[in-house]
Amino acid sequence: MAGWDDDTVRKLYFGRDDAEHDMADGLLREGFLATAAYEAVLSGRKILVIGRKGVGKSAICMRLTIDGGRAGSTVLITPDDAAGDEIRRFELQGLTGDTAKSLIWRYVFAVHAARHVITHARARHGRRLPPSVRALRKFLRANGEEGEARLYDRLVSGTRGLQTALSLEAFGVKASLDLNGSSEGARATAQLDILEKGVAAALKQLDCAERHGPLLVLVDQLEQVWSNDPDSKAMVTGLLLAGKHVAGAYGKALRCVLFLRADIYDSLEFSDGDKYRGDEIRVAWSGDELEELVLTRASVSLGRRLTPAELWGQVFPEQVEGLPAAEYLFSHSLPRPRDTIQFLNLCRDKATERGHATISTDDIAQATRQFSEWKLQDLAREYLVNFPFLSRVFAMFQNTGYVVMRSALESRFEEHREALHARFPDYTDTLTVDGVIDVLFGVNFLGVRRGSEVIHTGDGQVAVQPHETEFHIHRCFRPALNALNSTELRPYNPVQRAHVIGGAQNNFGTVVQGRLINADIVIGRRRDFTLAQSLIDSCERIRRQLGRADVPAEAAYEISVQVGRVVDDASQLLAQLRDGNARDVVSHLVGATNYLNALATQLVENGVDGGDGIRSVVRRIQDETRGLSREIGGGSNTG
């Protein structure tokens, strides 16, 4: 590879975990991939960006703050705990919680817009300020908003002004509004309308929307102040109402873009929710987009454009466990940039720790296990506020197969139900089998079998339906849970004891150079052949039944593999018998029959119940083992 040296892997870097640090010292400036979601927000077609943690919402937000040349100026609002508490506590008599909180958000937006107008007018429109701009400066000074202030301080000032009276003399209102007998909410709304009209007049007089692009007010990281309580929901609903309002209040001169986690947005219930559909964009990543992002960031870190063949064939191995390396890596992480960046950086770290000039399959294997453990912990933390019980539920999937049938989940859940309800009494309505399935599907822990595909939650996917019974643990979490096989089956691994007698006497006759000379032994040998062949025939009938049955494909494969091992071992037994080697055939068949019985029991316990399919396989196994037991019994020459 051109430009290749021993330090290539050491120089390789895919960026920081969070957008803020990635902007400061990572690859967000040069390694940012302008996706359709970003372009939709930048163009103004979408103002509500929704997505899971780590999908790049904040990356879009941070990128917008430096793309002022195309989008105009930006204001970034990220509430902290103090600000969140202030908004949650804000109330106005006569208004619902949602509407009251929308007013405090509108106040914050108006003050930010007023400050921007004053600064911008001085810088771009000359030192002589138009009357509308001077009025805004006077308003800010009169209400203590002129200097720099934290969001919390601005909220405290706005709360006090809206609950009592703002100074509106700058706009020609000499005293408090004549609204005697009106509620707090009515007075606050009237005051806010006057302020917004003052800001809109200044924006219109400067004609900024046409000349410089709109002011973008970006609100991000609401999850930091989210508590999943009614006041938190009112806080976010109020933000949505305020964001929608500014479009009408300021026209094209100001645009509010909101970045919300999908689980928060989807938990909201408000009457105007359908009015936001056209404003929404859900951030989702395809495998091709993630691969392009990875290639771009790798190229930036190495200082030259890599080709896919160089990245996935020279830096990384071409294949891992029979899959193309990119497919393996992306399938073992959730489809979002943060996870991909973490996983690939971890692979790089494993290689550099061991002094490797390239990333080996062993490096990736070590990284896969550690990354899986990280992500299982991170998933529980990600949803700790909404679903604090997740880590306890994950324990139900440890040391099991990754194919989980509904009946098995019902059985496992029933064992834990009482403890879960006692530990999380506020979530008993959710902590049912159907509720747990819905949650695990929603957080992408479980996928559901639909036709020939396993579907994981994503944009446009419908919820799990009552008739759907087959679920798969996401590949990302399988190593941490030790759920590496499709179903939890004990492998067939018999201990074979071959007894080559070679001229010695036994109770049944003599073996001379592998040739039996006692008539009873001849009969015994014939029976040994019959028993071994019967075992093979029984296993083949089981496998044919398995091929006809409606059994999950991965589970059917695992069952076929284990039954096939029984067949292979019995075939070796037959070959040894033909060579004249006397073996304890009865003991071999007893062991194989016991294994098949145990296999049937495991299948029932695991609940691999694709309709009547697995039950027909279990019945076939039981029928065959009963037949083998009858053949073995009474004629074992052990009497």
Spatial distance between the Cα atoms of 626 and 541, rounded to a whole number of angstroms: 14
Q: How far is CA 308 from CA 93, 305, 313, 326, in A?
A: 62, 10, 8, 10
User: Quick one: 427 exposed, middle or buried, by C-beta within 10 A (0-12, 13-18, 19+)?
Assistant: middle
Which residue type, as a one-letter code, is found at position 366? Q
Which residue type, as a one-letter code, is found at position 551? V
Calculate the CA 594 to chain-centre distance.
41
Spatial distance between the Cα atoms of 554 and 485, rounded to a whole number of angstroms: 8
**Contact between 612 and 525 (Cβ < 8 Å):** no
Calculate the CA 468 to chain-centre distance.
21
49 φ, ψ (degrees, to nearest 5): -100, 120
Q: Is residue 499 part of a domain?
A: no
pLDDT of 519 reads 46
pTM score: 0.79
pLDDT of 636 reads 40
Whether residue 338 is found in the same domain as residue 353? yes
549 dihedral zone (left: phi>0; alpha: psi -120 to 50; beta): beta
Break the chain down into helix, strand, coil percent, rounded to 5: 60, 10, 35
From the CB of residue 530, how many other CB atoms can be counted at a distance below 10 Å? 13
Q: Is 256 helix (H, G, I), strand (E, B) or coil?
A: strand
Spatial distance between the Cα atoms of 296 and 26, rounded to a whole number of angstroms: 13
Q: Is residue 503 part of a domain?
A: no
Q: Is 139 helix (H, G, I), strand (E, B) or coil?
A: helix
Whether residue 251 is found in the same domain as residue 273? yes
Q: Is residue 504 part of a domain?
A: no
Spatial distance between the Cα atoms of 110 and 158, rounded to a whole number of angstroms: 10
pLDDT of 496 reads 47
For the stretch 326-381, pLDDT in tens is 999 999 999 999 999 999 999 999 999 999 999 999 999 999 999 999 999 999 99
Q: Is residue 10 part of a domain?
A: no
Whether residue 143 is found in the same domain as residue 117? yes
Q: What is the dihedral of CA 266, 270, 274, 279, to 10 degrees?
A: -70
Spatial distance between the Cα atoms of 209 and 323, rounded to a whole number of angstroms: 52
Whether residue 531 is found in the same domain as residue 583? yes
Whether residue 303 is found in the same domain as residue 421? no
Last residue of a domain, one of 333, 359, 382: 382
- Domain range for 76 is 27-282
pLDDT of 16 reads 84
Spatial distance between the Cα atoms of 293 and 329, rounded to a whole number of angstroms: 14
pLDDT of 240 reads 94
Q: How many CA atoms lie within 13 A of 439 on its CB side?
A: 22
319-320 and 280-282 strand pairing: unpaired
How far apart are the two ends of the chain, measured CA to CA in Å? 74
215-219 and 254-261 strand pairing: parallel
Q: Is residue 13 part of a domain?
A: no
Residue 612 sits in a domain of what CATH number? 1.20.120
pLDDT of 176 reads 54
Whether residue 327 is found in the same domain as residue 457? no
Helix H or strand E segment including 134: helix 131-142
Whether residue 71 is found in the same domain as residue 179? yes
pLDDT of 393 reads 96
Last residue of a domain, one of 365, 382, 399: 382
Number of residues in the chain? 639
E-state strands within 424-558: 446-450, 453-455, 470-473, 511-512, 515-516
Whether residue 331 is found in the same domain as residue 427? no
pLDDT of 637 reads 39
Whether residue 307 is found in the same domain as residue 456? no
DSSP output for 329-373: HHHTS-SSHHHHHHHHHHHHHHHHHTT-SS--HHHHHHHHHHHHH
Whether residue 477 is found in the same domain as residue 465? yes
pLDDT of 582 reads 57
Mean pLDDT per block of 10 residues along the chain (639 residues) reads 67 83 72 87 90 90 74 82 91 93 94 88 72 91 83 88 88 66 85 93 80 85 92 94 91 90 90 84 91 92 91 95 94 93 96 93 96 96 94 93 88 92 95 95 93 77 87 96 86 59 36 43 72 92 89 85 92 85 79 90 68 81 91 54
Q: Is 281 helix (H, G, I), strand (E, B) or coil?
A: strand
Number of domains in the chain: 4
Q: Is residue 492 part of a domain?
A: no
Last residue of a domain, one of 364, 382, 400: 382
**Contact between 616 and 622 (Cβ < 8 Å):** no
Q: Is residue 489 part of a domain?
A: no
Whether residue 62 is found in the same domain as residue 196? yes
Whether residue 132 is found in the same domain as residue 179? yes
Average predicted confidence (pLDDT) for the chain: 85
Q: Is residue 2 part of a domain?
A: no
